[in-house]
Structure 1
Amino acid sequence: MPTIDRPTRIGMIVPSSNTCLEPQTYRILGDRRDVTIHSTRIPVTRIALDDSSDKQFDSTVMRAAAELLATANVDVIAWNGTSGSWLGAAHDHAMVQEITEATGIPATTSTLAYLSAFEEFGTERIGLFTPYTSDVNDAVIASYAREGIKTIDHRHLDLSDNESFARVTDSEMLPGSLELAAAQPDALVYLCTNLYGANITAEVEARTGVPVLDSVAVTLWHALSWRAHPCWTPSGGGCWGSFAAVPWTGSCRIASRARRRANICPPFAFFPRGTHVRKHSLQRARNRWQQQRTRAAIRGSGSRRGRTGCSRLAS
């Protein structure tokens, strides 16, 4: 008989020409056995602001892909693409609602994951790095502004062929990243799930002190947090970035100076390889985080925006 117990299954809808997010996701997960990733692909080859590009992200295509993932009995479905960042959050909210209604499975997207991370960590000012063209960046900046996120500076590589994004090297990304970090945003955002931003996250953070949010890591974080899974992974290196890091040394380090001042920690932890933490210390820290959240809510210091996250079934 098949066992009842099984790992959490995360279903991911992947752009067909994306060669980064699947290997990078498993690299971040390391040797964890409590989570497995299951993918299906939709045709996406070009990123631009025109009808032919927008049609790649049609809800009918997404729903069909989600229904395939549902046959694997996944626990959450994520559209692992950032198209909602220029099409608008409303586009992705409608998409996840349609997916959940069609499959009965909670759903999210990379864009909604970012908005949830911004809300969770109090991020309001970002530096934006993308492989896209300047007009796509402008559309992203305008869309984020409608969500209360200010882009204080940005860089783009003027690429539109989606497959080419994964061939951008670390050395091509690093100079622009350091320039953006010099403006001291709340976080530096690598916006594209086919961009190997996680490869240099640790270096950029170490050199600048600015937290980095990588699209692949943020999407995985959101899927894991929905299932109440910790982000801790012993062999994920620095790919998570400090947005999911709690070094339990008496202070918190997350993606917002405002949050650091408030000393509020997230309910999950990542520890670099070689770090040894006792289980009771983890639980004590999580309990302390919950107490801080409760006190903050009582003081009325909640987020300025409505809750952003996975689409859930109506109770």
Structure 2
Amino acid sequence: MPPPTIASLSTAKKLGIIVPSTNTAVETMTISLLASLQANIIPIFTRTRVLTLGADAATQAQFTPSAFITAAQLLADAAPDAIIWNGTSGMFVNGASLAADQALAKTMTDACGGITCTTNTLATIAALEHFDIKDVSIAVPYTPEITQRVNEFFTKSGYTVHNTVRLDETPPTNADIGAVDAETIKDLVRRSVTPQTKAVLVACTNFPATPLADELEKELGVVVLDSIAVSAWYGLKLLGVKGTGEKMKEWGRLLSSL
């Protein structure tokens, strides 16, 4: 591997990334894949408080527009070229819909003086459109109720969900989700695939399927859209990055497709 490219503080593109506070996967995976790209890009991270993942009122109250605005404005102080909420709440919060996430992105953009803001949910839809895929399966580590909400989000958004699978036992905390081993994740993705499946959505930004996508795609013959990779891909797209093919081929079809 060539020596790492050191991003220039004066000329680098900057991608602002909002991370759930209990997430342990986004920063390390994003930094690793950017190292593969060897590009003049600086990732800038901030966090918003997310302690639980469930359908209860306390959990749902974590994902308010005001919380995202506060986090986005902290990133805006560093003048990034784009900002992304790197969490999947738009797929399962009360009233989750594509229109709701589009409205959130606009609200954040307006609050940040016009800096383009988006979400992982919108990035996932963009990735499916990029491959012109409507037939999906879903693989997640969530509770049964949250898993069902994710299924309903994609069904309402016009996708055919052929299978939805979750871990046999939901990890008790978000930190425990981040510690799930690679073989367990690969088994979950394998179990989600049907003959009709064209893409598997690994819809959780703390479920580290990112380095497994290329292996699973070659084995299963489907696109694997890991949420961390999806956010990184969409962020790079917003920054105008092109020609990722050879540099990022080991990260799967999506990241090597710009």
What TM-score do you get using the length of structure 1 for normalisation? 0.73
Deviation at 1:138, TM superposition (A): 0.6
| 8 Å CA contact retained: 1:186, 1:211 | yes
Aligned residues: 244
Counterpart residue identity of residue 60, structure 2: D
Output one character per residue of 1:182-236: Cα deviation in whole Å (capped at 9) or x when no partner.
4341101111110111121122111111111110111111111122212617664
Q: Which moved more, 1:27-36 or 1:161-170?
A: 27-36
Question: Using the alignment, how far apart are the partners of 2:225 and 2:32 within structure 1?
Answer: 16
| 8 Å CA contact retained: 1:9, 1:75 | yes
Question: Using the alignment, how far apart are the partners of 1:163 and 1:74 within structure 2?
Answer: 28
- Is 2:253 the partner of 1:242? yes
| 8 Å CA contact retained: 1:130, 1:155 | yes
Question: Using the alignment, how far apart are the partners of 1:166 and 1:140 within structure 2?
Answer: 19
C-alpha spacing 1:137/1:5, structure 2 compared with 1 (3 Å): same
C-alpha spacing 1:209/1:145, structure 2 compared with 1 (3 Å): same
C-alpha spacing 1:136/1:160, structure 2 compared with 1 (3 Å): farther
Question: Using the alignment, how far apart are the partners of 2:135 and 2:143 within structure 1?
Answer: 21
| 8 Å CA contact retained: 1:132, 1:160 | no
C-alpha spacing 1:70/1:202, structure 2 compared with 1 (3 Å): same
| 8 Å CA contact retained: 2:249, 2:255 | no
Question: Using the alignment, how far apart are the partners of 2:121 and 2:202 within structure 1?
Answer: 12
The counterpart of 1:90, out of the listed 99, 115, 120, is 99
Alignment of 1:139-288 (within 5 A): 139-157=149-167, 158-159=170-171, 161-230=173-242, 232=244, 236=248, 238-239=250-251, 241-245=252-256, 268=258
Structure 1 or 2, whichever has the larger Rg, is 1
Question: Using the alignment, how far apart are the partners of 1:177 and 1:54 within structure 2?
Answer: 27
Deviation at 1:130, TM superposition (A): 0.6
Q: In structure 1, the residue corresponding to 2:61 is in which secondary structure? A: helix
- Is 2:33 the partner of 1:22? no
| 8 Å CA contact retained: 1:184, 1:210 | no
Question: Using the alignment, how far apart are the partners of 1:143 and 1:184 within structure 2?
Answer: 19
Question: Using the alignment, how far apart are the partners of 2:9 and 2:67 within structure 1?
Answer: 32
Q: Which residue of 1 aligns with 2:67?
A: 61
Q: Which residue of 2 aligns with 1:124?
A: 134
Specify every segment of 5 or more residues in structure 1 that has no aligned partner in the other structure, as ranges.
247-267, 269-315
Deviation at 1:245, TM superposition (A): 3.7
Q: In structure 1, the residue corresponding to 2:151 is in which secondary structure? A: helix
Deviation at 1:120, TM superposition (A): 2.2
| 8 Å CA contact retained: 1:170, 1:199 | no
| 8 Å CA contact retained: 2:12, 2:41 | yes
What TM-score do you get using the length of structure 2 for normalisation? 0.89
Question: Using the alignment, how far apart are the partners of 2:254 and 2:101 within structure 1?
Answer: 23
Q: In structure 1, the residue corresponding to 2:250 is in which secondary structure? A: coil
Question: Using the alignment, how far apart are the partners of 2:133 and 2:86 within structure 1?
Answer: 21
- Is 2:117 the partner of 1:112? no
Counterpart residue identity of residue 34, structure 2: L
Q: Which residue of 2 aligns with 1:8?
A: 13
Question: Using the alignment, how far apart are the partners of 1:233 and 1:117 within structure 2?
Answer: 16
Q: Which residue of 1 aligns with 2:56?
A: 50
What is the percentage of aligned positions where both structures have the same residue? 29
Question: Using the alignment, how far apart are the partners of 2:195 and 2:122 within structure 1?
Answer: 25
Output one character per residue of 1:247-304: Cα deviation in whole Å (capped at 9) or x when no partner.
xxxxxxxxxxxxxxxxxxxxx2xxxxxxxxxxxxxxxxxxxxxxxxxxxxxxxxxxxx
Counterpart residue identity of residue 136, structure 2: I
